[in-house]
Chain A
Amino acid sequence: MPEGLAKHMRHLPLPEFSETPYVSGPAVAERRVALVSTAGLSMRGEAPFGMGGADYRVIPGDAGPGDIVMSHISVNFDRTGYQRDWNVVLPLDRLREMASDGVIGSVADHHYSFMGATDPAEMESAAKDIAGHMAAEGVNAVLLLPV
């Protein structure tokens, strides 16, 4: 990472948390796993992310890389890796393989994307909303992947 960018990242204002919640669950091999990305991913044809957007998009579990576009507002991260292989950002193929091999229990039917340039505190209500949908489909493991 270029030093100027590293310095910028280190000095971003961050939300403060006095405590850390901690929810336990079964072994990984028994978990239903969902992905949450902050890469600004949406389904092609769906509304892209706007400036300051704290909203989210749903990525169906059977989506393929050609179904998805990235509209993250920042250019300060590499996109060429994602262009070559979406799994480096949204590893749905890997999760499907791991579920098939019994390493994880199952892959969720729905995955989610935010656009990470927004103040995360503004995403709290959207995250609660998503958590409700996840609970409804039995998700008990979320892999959070930033860019």
Chain B
Amino acid sequence: MSALAHYFETAGIPTTLSALVREHAEAMHPPRALAVPFELGRPLGAPEDSAFQRRVITAALALLERPSGPVLEDYPEDAPADAAASEADEGWACPVSFAQPKADAPTTFAARLQAEVAQMKPWHEAWKRRKGFSGVGAAGAEVEALADYLGQFADGADVSPPVAAAQPADGMKLAINDLMTFYQEAANAQPGTAGGIQQISDWFWTETVAGETLLAARKVSKTGDDKRVAFVLDRLALPHIAAVHDR
């Protein structure tokens, strides 16, 4: 982002930015940067807190009035405690209780994932009713079709993504993108509360069939012919969290 600031400013357009990684702004010295102590993914710090967002924007825009630069300033305020996350710390539970597999339960990733998606669906519908829309849709396919593809891939089948993408790797990435969004939105729909950042991530990667399927797909891709698909699964689609890699 600091590099983009250089490019825009060089072209004559004044810039200011929210810097989530202070070290990057220090190294690249963009014209104006507000170093913020927020989570990656939240450049304005807090969802559903318009006053806080507005204070951060105001502080960033104020740097435009400095007579000279580069300016790198620290935003003094931490993001307010996420009420939902605080409740989650006290024991957030997924809205869906995943029963232990029965003896005759399906064993393939494709079948297990499809069953789990079906369990999550009512909560995703609840999310859509609450928000009026869903962020799922980048892949342009139904989540069931994406789950079927990802499950079959993890089962070792030779499958193509049901996505109008130029390359299988892009299709894989978009399928994962939408499946994760579907789960995160469904998890956020739990009555009364929603999980915090870490809770939902931990839950997805350590408790769901979906997380298990993606980790299995990662293993399968290592022996496959398409190195770009393997790259997506190994480096891009899975978080840099050691614990989930041991699952």
Chain B residues whose C-beta falls within 8 Å of the C-beta of A81 in the assembled complex: 39, 41-42, 46-47, 197
Is B152's CB within 8 Å of the partner chain A? no
Is B99's CB within 8 Å of the partner chain A? no
Is B242's CB within 8 Å of the partner chain A? yes
A84 touches B169 (CB 8 A): no
Closest Cβ–Cβ distance, residue A147 to chain B (whole Å)? 5
Of B9, B181, B185, B197, the residue contacting A23 (CB under 8 A) is B9
Is A132's CB within 8 Å of the partner chain B? yes
How far, in whole Å, are A132 and B133 apart by their CA atoms in the complex? Answer: 33
Is B223's CB within 8 Å of the partner chain A? no
What per-residue 1/0 map shows which CB atoms of B64-84 lie under 8 Å from chain A?
110111100000000000000
What per-residue 1/0 map shows which CB atoms of B1-29 lie under 8 Å from chain A?
11111111111111111111101100111
Closest Cβ–Cβ distance, residue A124 to chain B (whole Å)? 5
- A124 in contact with B7 given A79-B184, A85-B47 (CB within 8 Å): yes
Is B108's CB within 8 Å of the partner chain A? no
Nearest chain A residue, comparing its CB with the CB of B177: A71
| Candidate in A45, A83, A120 with the most chain B CB atoms within 10 angstroms | A83
How far, in whole Å, are A48 and B116 apart by their CA atoms in the complex? Answer: 26
- Residue pairs across A and B with Cβ atoms less than 8 A apart, 8 shown, are A1-B39, A1-B40, A5-B240, A72-B177, A120-B3, A141-B14, A142-B16, A144-B5
B13 touches A23 (CB 8 A): yes
A4 touches B240 (CB 8 A): yes
How far, in whole Å, are A4 and B39 apart by their CA atoms in the complex? Answer: 14
A28 touches B65 (CB 8 A): yes
Nearest chain B residue, comparing its CB with the CB of A11: B23
Of the listed stretches B55-63, B143-151, B154-162, chain A binds B55-63
- A146 in contact with B64 given A48-B138, A80-B197 (CB within 8 Å): no
Of A1, A12, A28, A70, the residue contacting B64 (CB under 8 A) is A28
| Candidate in A79, A93, A139 with the most chain B CB atoms within 10 angstroms | A79
Is A31's CB within 8 Å of the partner chain B? yes
Chain B residues whose C-beta falls within 8 Å of the C-beta of A23 in the assembled complex: 9, 12-14, 31
- A14 in contact with B7 given A69-B138, A88-B44 (CB within 8 Å): no
Chain A residues whose C-beta falls within 8 Å of the C-beta of B27 in the assembled complex: 14
What per-residue 1/0 map shows which CB atoms of A117-128 lie under 8 Å from chain B?
100110110011
Is B236's CB within 8 Å of the partner chain A? yes
Using a CB-CB cutoff of 8 Å, which residues 193-247 of chain B contact chain A? 194-197, 200-201, 228, 232, 236-242
Is B170's CB within 8 Å of the partner chain A? yes
